[in-house]
Every structure is written in structure tokens, then in C-alpha cells.
């Protein structure tokens, strides 16, 4: 077994250093334009959160157990077990694994390890973490990987991990799909969803630069496109327009670049995009299942309901402020008509969107019921037919309504 012991009083020292670093970042962001451009305070906060998490050895042990459960049926990876009876927040006791470090090429060749197969396995493990579980090892450097039993990948050190929420996952999928399909508008929408570009704030210059960036992928085989080249180019473009990448997304992109470098060190001919394609396709399919659509419709309906409940209170507060003289309205008749028209249009679109959401939710629940309860016959199929027809008709009407209001 291996015992990892935390140095005495190291937590207090790190907390002091991080507090000083945060103050320096805030001061620099106030005084220096370059620090404000890179949002230095957020970078320091993200670094601090990661470092504090690494100080909690119980959390690291739980991360190891979670990875062990995720890959329990995968013969290409081995996660050491945690001895919880000898583990607490400052002591971590884990199973010892011995093998060849992943960057020791001479020893790997001498042991007869298939480097090409090992490279693909290491990349596929990271892709499965990201697209299959939304929970990934965010420090995939060679020192954390060992080759054991002639080709099995042993992984250690789970202090740094990343977690993907649904919005980030969807934005990442859209971004990679836009790059592969040479779709600059799709890339713009993906960056908006990821929080890199504020919605409807893209300038004409930014749109032109995105088009040039995407054109760089035209007529190039996927095997000649590297993740590092792609993300370095995108980062330079965003820096030119004074845009920053959110901390969690930066951690994910760093992990993908490190994963690619690790795999290509073993096999320079490795096609990372080709290896990623089936994982991306599976993740996209999972997002359009009836259950996923039903969950999204339910979440959207809940948000609309919460918004509807807030409107009377906000209207009452506005009227009260108006009555007390704190709020003044100055308008002309033509402006009032424009506002009234916009409100009517918004209300119509909201009502139609609620109807479409209800149809989608109903279809999803009906499909789940048919599969779970084995409910067959002419009645459920008739309901399903009319439900799908309602979704299509409502979607067309909603699209036409939105086009009329553009």
C-alpha cells in the first residue's frame, strides 16, 4: 500500500498564500488592462478552489472510488482501491501499483507493449470520462499513468478532477460539431452557450474572424488537425477580441490538449478527432432521447412557471415605485404602440411555446409509459401520432411567429 501524508500546518499556509494571491489579482485587475482582459481574479479563484480540493484527502479517495466504479468493466484501465480504515482528511492510504511510466518509451518497447493500442486506449478513457460521465481526471500528465500487466493502464492521483454540467456539455458538442462541419455560425452559437461570448454581442469583426478561423479547417483531413492547434488558435482569436474562457471550460480544454499530447507521444499517427467521433455521436444521441427531451421540456416549463409567478410581484413593485415618484415614464404614442405590439407578440410566442413544450412532454411520457408498462394497442399509437403531429405543427407555427417578429 501507499500512504500519502499531508505536511503539518500546510493547509493554513496555503490559505494565507491564496488570500495574498487573490488580493494581488484584484489589485492587478483594477490597475492593468491585461489583467482585466484575462479576468485574473476568476483564474485565481479557480486555481484556489482546485488547490483547496487537493488538500482534502477524503475527497480524493471518493474521486478514486468513483473512477473505479465508472471503469469497473473496462479491461484496459485499473484504478487502485482506497483503504478507508486508514484514511482521513490528511492521510490517504491506497493500493500500490507498479508498472512502467507512460513516458518511458524505451522500457515500454522493451516490454513489447503495443504503443498504438495503448495510445488509443488512453485517449478513449479520457473521452469516456468527458462525454460518457461528465467527470474527468483533469491532470493527465505522464507521471499519473503506469502500464501494468503488459498493456493495462494504471491511473493514480485523483486530487484534480473536472465536472461538466449539461449546458457546458452541450456547448462543447456544438463547438466540435461546428468545427468539423465548417459552420462559423454554429461555432458562434456554441461559444455563446459556453459563456465565452455574451448573447447577441458578437461584433462584425468577431464574426469575420470566426469565419476565417473555421475556413482553416476546410479541405484538411481530421488526422491533420490537432486539438492543441485548434484551441491555441481559438484562444488567440478570443484574446484579440478581449474575450476570456470561463475557468471550468479552460480546465476541460487543457485536459483535452494534455490527453492528445499523451496519446501522440505514444503514437504520432494518432487521429484524436477520429477517436472522439463515436463518443460525440453517442452524446448527441443521448440528448435527443424521449427521456432527455421530456426532462428539458419539464425544466423549461418549470422556469416559465417561476417567471410567471414573479411577474405580479415585479409589476406591483414597479407600480408602487411609480406611485411614490421613484419611477418615471416618458413615452410617445408611437413608442407605446410599439411596446404594446411587442408585448402582445411575446405573449403569443410564450403561449405557443408552452403548448409545444406540453406536447413534447406528453409524447416523452407516453413513450416511456409504452416501454415501461408494455402498453400497446391502437390507443397509445393513436395518441402518439397526434402528439407528434402536434409537436410538428406547433413547432412550425412557433417558427413562423418568430420569423414574423424578426
The closest of 127, 134, 140 to 281, measured between CA atoms, is 127
3 state DSSP class of 3: strand
Q: For the residues 188-200, what does the mean pLDDT come to?
A: 85
In a domain, 341, yes or no: yes
Taking a C-beta distance cutoff of 8 angstroms, is the pair 112, 105 a contact? no
Residue 333 has pLDDT above 60, yes or no: no
- If asked whether residues 123 and 232 sit together in one domain, one would say yes
Is 190 found in the same domain as 170?
A: yes
Residue 60 maps to a domain: no
Within a domain: 299: yes
* Same domain (yes/no): 268, 344: no
Domain count, the chain: 2
Among the listed residues 105, 131, 122, the one whose alpha carbon sits nearest the alpha carbon of residue 262: 122
Whether 404 shows a pLDDT value over 60: the answer reads: no
Clarify whether residues 339 and 200 are in a common domain. Answer: no
What are the DSSP calls for 185-226, one per residue? HHHHHHHHHTTSS-TT---HHHHHHHHHHHHTTTT--GGG--
Predicted confidence (pLDDT) at residue 399 exceeds the cutoff of 70:
no
Residue 78 forms part of a structural domain? no
Which of residues 287, 313, 344 is at a domain's end? 287
Q: Which of 287, 321, 344 is the last residue of a domain?
A: 287
Do residue 268 and residue 146 come from a single domain?
yes
Whether 270 and 296 share a structural domain: no
* Maximum alpha-carbon separation in the chain: 85
pLDDT category, 195, cuts 50, 70, 90?
confident
Are 122 and 174 found together in one domain?
Answer: yes
Q: In degrees rounded to 5, what are phi and psi of residue 93?
A: -120, 120
Is pLDDT above 60 for 395? no
- When the pLDDT of each residue in the chain is averaged and rounded to a whole number, the result is 78
Of 136 and 312, which is predicted with more confidence? 136
| pLDDT-based confidence at residue 387 (cuts at 50, 70, 90) | low
338 and 228, same structural domain? no
Alpha-carbon distance of 157 to 80, in angstroms, equals 10
Residues β-bridged to residue 155: 145
Instruction: Determine the average pLDDT of the residues in 210-220.
Output: 80
E strand segments, 206-354: none
Question: End of a domain among 287, 317, 344?
Answer: 287
Please, what is the end-to-end C-alpha distance for the chain in angstroms? 66
DSSP string, 150-174: TTEEEE---SSEEE--HHHHHHHHH
**Is residue 87 a part of any domain in this protein?**
no
What integer pLDDT is reported at residue 178 of this predicted model? 82
pLDDT score of 71: 92
Residues 33-76 pLDDT 10s: 766 666 778 778 878 888 888 889 999 999 999 999 999 988 88
- The strand pair at 152-155 and 161-163 is best described as unpaired
Q: Name the residues annotated as catalytic.
A: 139
Specify whether the CB–CB gap between 45 and 60 falls below 8 A: no
Residue 373 pLDDT > 70? no
For the ranges 192-196, 197-201, 276-280, 393-397, the lowest mean pLDDT is seen at 393-397
Would residue 27 count as lying in a domain?
no
Cell 516490454 sits on residue: 111
The CA distance from 143 to 156, in Å, is 9
Does position 400 have pLDDT exceeding 80, yes or no? no
Is 351 found in the same domain as 277? no
Answer yes or no: do 118 and 265 share one domain: yes
Between 393 and 372, where is the model more confident?
393
Q: Give the other-Cβ count within 10 Å of 15's Cβ.
A: 14
| φ and ψ at residue 211, rounded to 5 degrees | -65, -45
Average pLDDT over residues 137-156: 87
Query: Do 275 and 364 reside in the same domain of the chain?
Result: no
Q: Are residues 271 and 228 in the same domain?
A: yes
Average pLDDT on 99-117 reads 88
Give which of 124, 118, 123, 94 is closest to 104, Cα–Cα.
Answer: 118
Domain holding 376, by residue range, is 290-304+331-405
Q: Are 243 and 39 in contact (CB under 8 A)?
A: no
Confirm if 287 and 170 have CB atoms less than 8 A apart. Answer: yes
Residue 351 belongs to some domain of the structure: yes
pLDDT single digits (tens) 278-302: 877 777 777 666 665 666 666 666 6
Q: What is the Cα–Cα distance from 130 to 341, expressed in whole angstroms?
A: 46
Is the residue at 20 inside a domain? no
What is the mean predicted confidence (pLDDT) over 240-255?
A: 82
Please indicate whether residue 167 or residue 394 has the higher confidence score (pLDDT). Answer: 167
Amino acid at each position: 500500500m501507499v500512504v500519502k501524508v499531508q505536511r503539518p500546518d500546510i493547509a493554513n499556509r496555503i490559505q494565507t498564500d491564496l488570500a495574498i494571491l487573490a488580493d494581488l489579482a484584484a489589485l492587478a485587475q483594477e490597475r492593468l488592462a491585461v489583467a482585466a482582459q484575462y479576468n485574473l481574479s476568476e483564474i485565481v479563484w479557480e486555481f484556489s478552489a482546485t488547490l483547496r480540493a487537493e488538500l482534502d484527502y477524503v475527497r480524493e479517495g471518493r474521486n478514486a472510488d468513483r473512477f473505479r466504479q465508472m471503469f469497473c468493466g473496462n479491461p484496459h484501465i485499473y484504478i487502485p482501491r482506497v483503504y478507508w480504515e486508514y484514511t482521513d482528511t490528511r492521510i490517504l492510504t491506497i493500493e500500490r501499483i507498479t508498472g512502467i511510466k507512460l513516458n518511458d518509451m524505451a522500457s515500454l518497447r522493451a516490454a513489447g507493449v503495443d504503443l498504438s493500442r495503448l495510445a488509443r486506449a488512453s485517449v478513449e478513457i479520457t473521452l469516456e470520462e468527458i462525454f460518457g460521465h461528465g467527470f474527468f481526471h483533469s491532470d493527465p500528465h505522464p507521471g499519473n499513468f503506469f502500464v501494468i500487466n503488459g498493456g493495462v493502464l494504471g491511473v493514480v492521483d485523483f486530487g484534480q478532477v473536472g465536472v461538466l454540467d449539461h449546458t457546458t456539455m452541450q456547448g462543447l458538442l456544438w463547438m466540435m460539431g461546428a468545427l468539423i462541419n465548417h459552420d462559423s455560425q454554429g461555432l458562434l452559437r456554441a461559444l455563446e452557450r459556453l459563456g465565452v461570448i455574451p448573447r447577441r454581442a458578437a461584433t462584425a469583426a468577431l464574426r469575420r474572424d470566426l469565419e476565417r478561423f473555421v475556413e482553416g479547417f476546410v479541405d484538411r483531413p481530421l488526422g491533420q488537425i490537432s486539438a492543441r492547434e485548434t484551441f491555441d488558435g481559438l484562444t488567440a482569436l478570443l484574446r484579440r477580441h478581449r474575450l476570456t474562457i470561463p475557468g471550468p471550460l479552460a480546465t476541460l480544454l487543457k485536459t483535452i490538449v494534455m490527453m492528445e499530447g499523451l496519446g501522440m507521444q505514444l503514437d504520432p499517427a494518432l487521429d484524436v478527432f477520429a477517436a472522439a467521433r463515436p463518443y460525440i455521436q453517442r452524446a448527441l444521441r443521448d440528448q435527443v432521447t424521449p427521456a432527455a427531451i421530456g426532462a428539458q421540456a419539464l425544466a423549461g416549463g418549470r422556469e416559465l412557471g417561476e417567471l410567471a409567478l414573479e411577474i405580479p410581484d415585479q409589476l406591483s413593485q414597479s407600480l408602487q415605485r411609480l406611485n411614490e415618484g421613484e419611477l418615471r415614464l416618458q413615452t410617445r404614442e408611437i413608442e407605446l404602440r410599439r411596446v404594446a405590439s411587442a408585448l402582445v407578440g411575446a405573449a403569443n410566442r410564450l403561449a405557443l411555446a408552452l403548448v409545444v413544450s406540453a406536447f413534447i412532454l406528453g409524447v416523452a411520457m407516453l413513450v416511456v409509459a409504452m416501454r415501461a408498462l408494455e402498453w400497446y394497442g391502437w390507443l397509445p399509437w393513436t395518441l402518439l401520432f397526434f402528439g407528434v403531429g402536434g409537436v410538428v405543427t406547433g413547432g412550425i407555427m412557433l417558427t413562423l411567429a418568430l420569423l414574423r417578429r424578426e
